[in-house]
Amino acid sequence: MCKSSQYQRSIAGVDLMRRIVGLSDGLTVPFALTAGLSGLGSSRLVVTGGLAELCAGAISMGLGGYCM
């Protein structure tokens, strides 16, 4: 059975939307976290917090994509 081009465009649009939202979330949250932590004055804390958030975000996005 052949899928219609309308259906394929609809799926492609949803996929693109998910990628854009994921990219936006993936860039905004680490930046906001490190900007907030930079007020504490400890560069080691900023780097550690940023890396921890990147790992947690990757796990969260991975599980979210897997469960959908």
Residue pLDDT, tens place only, 5-50? 555 556 667 777 777 777 777 778 778 888 888 888 888 988 888 8
Phi/psi of residue 51, each to 5°? -65, -40
pLDDT of residue 20: 78
Residue 2 φ/ψ region, left for φ over 0, alpha for ψ in the -120 to 50 degree band, beta for the rest: beta
pLDDT of residue 49: 87
Contact between 57 and 30 (Cβ < 8 Å) = yes
pTM across the whole model? 0.55
